[in-house]
Structure 1
Amino acid sequence: VCSSTTTSGNDSKKFKGDVRSPGVPSRVVHVRKLPNDINEAEVISLGLPFGKVTNLLMLKGKNQAFLELNSEECAQTMVSYYSSVTPVIRNHPIYMQYSTHKELKTDNSPNQVRAQAALQAVNALHGGGIGSVAISSDASSMAGGVAQSPVLRVIVENLFYPVTLDVLHQIFSKFGTVLKIITFTKNNQFQALIQYADAMTAQHAKLSLDGQNIYNACCTLRISFSKLTSLNVKYNNDKSRDYTRPDLPTADSQPSIDHQAMAAAAFSAPGIISASPFGAHAFPPTFAIQQAGLSVPGIPGALASLGVGHSSMAAAAAAASRLGLSGLAAAGGHNVLLVSNLNPESVTPHCLFILFGVYGDVMRVKILFNKKENALVQMSDGTQAQLAMSHLNGQRLHGRAMRVTLSKHTTVQLPREGHEDQGLTKDFSNSPLHRFKKPGSKNYSNIFPPSATLHLSNIPPSVVEDDLKRLFASSGATVKAFKFFQKDRKMALIQMGSVEEAIECLIEFHNHDLGENHHLRVSFSKSTI
């Protein structure tokens, strides 16, 4: 009987019997060759499709675990299924067999307390109390030995914020390598087809994500298996992507697939209608930590608990205007940001206008008269404010880490006529430098977090590499690398010594006059040189 959860030598002696298991069925399954960084929730999810998981013992030092199911029959189904389909977690094939133990007896050691917390969280997530994991219809058919497709069909309900292909990729990559994604709208619903390398990984992702919200209280994932077993992606763009074929053309103006044919094949699977038991939060707190291992400040809680980074949040919010959702997002107000911990010696309304203008159209900026470390920045809508906050909170400007939060103010007041405020308040609503005024502007799809590499465009033919390197070095920054785009010499990448230097160079040189009626356009790049 197992009585300890430490990974001491005594344990390995206790568990040696399992390695030579004679194959006699037991409701305890011995799982081997687990990756080093696996967590309890992931191990539990291996057993979820086959019945209730009633106990768990992790031997992290040995890369092994013992999973107790509620009946011998469930364990038999699990072992026989995995003997024909080897599960893969983070590119590790996992092996399992019956344990010589008939049940697990566990103690109150810290490891075991953590395992019990994970059990509670996962069981709650799947609709039961402790030790009562509900089996979904897909999992039941799988438990009967029917292998499912590696392609998931995802419907995003309650689409309050836009969801992009990159957001989906980052969420679904938590569970294994995503090979291909196709997104489209059908029956007025945003949908996606997501292909993993194998059905087991797809099953794991489905069990963990079905019914969850991407953002707080909205963008709910409804996931079922597709009838397709492979996706045919013709173009890599913002609608479809084949991650195994970076050579595919973009063909932005053309539809990425024949939706009618794809729809006919993919959508006879029944929809899943169970709602998330946690309402506004994607995961209960313990599960969020187990599952994702990190959270991101300044992002709505549900997405943060998935560990989805700033760039995806950016892509999501940036697409708002394209989907006509910016008004919706703005309906809640919150389009004024409070920026604090600024350097009062260096900050100006213009510099905040240029920096925050990377993430939305800045209407007004006010540096507070009595407290010049603080400023109010009014964006054109709530989505853009959220976007700027998620990217710029914590970034360094003029030697200080900025703090960016939503302000209680709904507008920035201009000084009354005759009341001069030393130029601390500026109205930029008619500025020609707004990046997002034009509907469908390319700028929407090129929003990235601050990075050391800057994207330069609108470079006249007479300006050569040395001119630009000299220009950027003139600010005192270090230029580490430079590269013109091969196909379009109007564009280039320039890599600065740090993200902070890049931020200051963007502020200084965006709209810089290069002559010949060419004003330099500067933004952050997702690429490196």
Structure 2
Amino acid sequence: MSSSNQHQFRYTQTPSKVLHFRNLPWECSEEELADLCSPFGKIVNTKCNVGANRNQAFVEFVDLNQAISMVSYYAASSEPAQVRGKSVYIQYSNRHEIVNSKGPGDVPGNVLLVTFEGVEAGDVTIDIIHLVFSAFGFVHKIATFEKTAGFQALIQFTDAETASSARNALDGRSVPRYLLPENVGSCNLRISYSAHTDLNIKFQSNRSRDYTNPMLPVNQTAIDSALQRKELESNVLLATIENMQYAVTVEVLNTVFSAFGTVQKIAIFEKNGQTQALIQYPDVTIAAAAKEALEGHNIYDGGYCIQ
């Protein structure tokens, strides 16, 4: 070991069988960490995607000497540890075990608490929230509000399994840019579990919705905003296919339009010398988002457009 490396090693923390990894690739997996660590000993626990940028992790070895051997090896090596070509920095953790007991916000439940970072109330509508989260299952209820943490929403799913799949996929991600107003640069999602199990929604409005109770009264402000819409929205889109250089099939259209939600029905027909299609979604929100994103865009490069 060179003197420079000895100097570096001398100031590391007290040895621990838990190692702290920094500068990992985005969403580094447990398998990738195991590949890096397994030559030095047996791993008993991991905690991945830690930190604001989700690029840190903790790995617990079964024995302290195994952790020491890994730190010593890379302290003496001229080549740093690497995952996916990125140099990874390793040091002892100040914790001596990775505790599996979950704190508040980590206990899985059917209601998620979502914080929308970088936006104010009104920038992200309740319809956009419903569109994003209904991709993972039926959303029962949504309640939005403003707290010191910023603009937040409670989102109720059927069960904890569905909520967990949404949290795992969306936590730390951004709301798609095409769904945001032009004045908003980005909107990051921070998601934890709520202690709530059944939200109490008293009326449908631009701040709260109960998708299980169509008979719930509508708040007057919601009616007013609906009347101000420039055009009548429908859950069925009429798509006109132009510049057709490839065959149009139900399968192709289903692939394109399913990106925004469940497509219930597709009908293709000819009218006035043009190929058109009707695409039916479960609700207006999904149809509006698909129309906003796809109108005027090519399906294939040099292919045809959807109007």
Normalization by structure 1: what TM-score?
0.25
Query: Going by fraction, where is strand more abundant, 1 or 2?
Result: 2
Answer with 1 or 2: which has the greater Rg: 1
Normalization by structure 2: what TM-score?
0.40
Where relative contact order (Cα < 8 A, 6+ residues apart) is larger, the structure is: 2
